[in-house]
Amino acid sequence: MEMQWQRLLTTKRYGHAELTEEEIGRSHFHKDQDRIIFSSAFRRLGRKTQVHPMSLNDHIHTRLTHSIEVGSLGRSLGIRVGELIQSQLPEWASAYDIGMIVQSACLAHDIGNPPFGHAGEYAIRDWFKRQQNSPLLDNLSAAERLDLMTFEGNAQGFRVVTRIENHLFDGGLRLTYPTLGALLKYPWSAAHAGEKGKFSAYQTELEILNKLGRELGLVASGEDRWCRHPLTYLMEAADDICYAILDLEDAIELNILSFDEIKPILLQLCGDASFDDDIFTSQASARRKISAMRGRAMEFMVGSAVQAYMQNQPAIMRGEYRGELLADGETDVRDGLRRAKSLARERVFPDTRKTELEVGAYTTLGVLLEAFCNAVYDNHHLRGDGLSYRSERIISLMGIHAPDPALPLYKAYMRALDFISGMTDNYATYLARQIGGLS
């Protein structure tokens, strides 16, 4: 079976029974981008950690600046591939439609990440795994417990755009199926997450996942498991390019690494070890020197990803490709990425200040989870009657996310996670201090 672009690029929109009329000057896929950019969840990414929590340096990437940069690269990748496969596309579709779909998926790819970056994900998972919290999960199914103990930003992001933002539990942002499909980096449930705990749909969104798979004509590879939308590989490549270069750039800004330490890696990612520029011998700052190399490296990596996509397109369209475009492209790109990741593991991630703040993030999220999950548990079992004043006030803080006492407990916990994971680093820190009486 091979996927067909006619179905992969459907203009159907999740949450709409009928197709909406085309608006002058905007395609259906342009609308997706606009809806993502103007959502409050996207705006809050400006105060969420990318790699370095609570940085005082204004040049350090946040989730917002990272997402915008990934979107820019994703658009380039989409247009380049779109031009090469134009003859395969429906008559009405252009390379710029492909670029817009990939860009929209890139902009939303981190929209479900909790405060404090990956440390926040681990903190939530570990809290639900603690023995003292197991009574809260007693009446949940094994699949429901697994969702909570494997909390995943990708799955939360899918929930945000299909449930939470704009039209609460009525289609979310109501994006087109192709944009949602391209966003699904791991289109399966937690049961298929593997050792890395990667998946893109909680039990609450499995119905949406399976509907997407059927509508887009994705290849099923098991129960609640589908192959990726072909454009997802381009989103992933854009994300990886930004991680490789911009994480190192942030490390220089924070004086964790020097320019001379990362210059050989950047030269390799440029595909030209002999590349030279007058700026390298000048008194220019490390920031300006790395800027001189960034564009060249990105262009080479984009070209490598496009080449790898075209070489592997038959397997991609059959849903059989399991690789990564940057690893399967130019050897300089593959080896440069490995060196970059190795340097980050050895020098950047163990940084003392980063570690201190991540440990603090565990405490912060622990205070919030203890307060909100216990309040939700009491609210469910007491059916809202005889609830303690503290629990009552905590539930009220959740606003539109506050669960009805009659809601199944698993879904009530998910509402609490919607509220907590949507917080910025600053608000999570502030609220934990208030609730913990530390203010």
- Out of 320, 348, 376, a domain closes at 348
Cα separation, 418 vs 264, whole angstroms: 43
Tokens of 168: 């609460």
- Residue 263 located in a structural domain: yes
pLDDT tens digit sequence for 15-38: 775 555 555 567 889 999 999 999
Pair 161, 301 in one domain: no
- Count up the domains in the chain and report the number: 3
Q: Which domain holds residue 259?
A: 238-348
CATH number at residue 44: 1.10.3210.10
- Residue 251 located in a structural domain: yes
Pair 169, 27 in one domain: yes
CATH number at residue 282: 1.10.3410.10
Q: b or e along 284-302 (b: 16 or more beta carbons within 10 Å of the residue's beta carbon)?
A: bebeebbeebbebbbebbb
- Residue 233 located in a structural domain: no
Note down pLDDT in tens along the chain; length 439 residues: 899 999 999 999 887 755 555 555 678 899 999 999 999 999 999 887 666 555 555 567 788 989 999 999 999 999 999 999 999 999 999 999 999 999 999 999 999 999 988 889 999 999 999 999 999 999 899 999 999 999 999 999 999 999 999 888 888 899 999 999 999 999 999 999 988 889 999 999 999 999 999 999 999 999 999 999 999 999 999 999 988 888 788 888 777 888 888 888 888 888 876 676 666 666 667 777 777 788 888 999 999 999 999 999 999 999 999 999 999 999 999 999 999 888 888 887 777 767 777 788 889 999 999 999 999 999 998 876 788 999 999 999 999 999 999 999 999 999 999 999 999 998 999 999 999 876 5
Contact (CB, 8 A) for 250 and 121: no
Pair 52, 173 in one domain: yes
With vertex at residue 392, the alpha carbon angle to CA 388 and CA 396, rounded to the nearest 5 degrees, is 170
pTM of this structure = 0.92
Pair 64, 48 in one domain: yes
pLDDT tens digit sequence for 351-407: 776 777 778 888 999 999 999 999 999 999 887 678 899 999 999 999 999 999 999
Pair 98, 222 in one domain: yes
- Residue 280 located in a structural domain: yes
Pair 83, 207 in one domain: yes
Q: b or e along 337-350 (b: 16 or more beta carbons within 10 Å of the residue's beta carbon)?
A: beebeebbeeebee
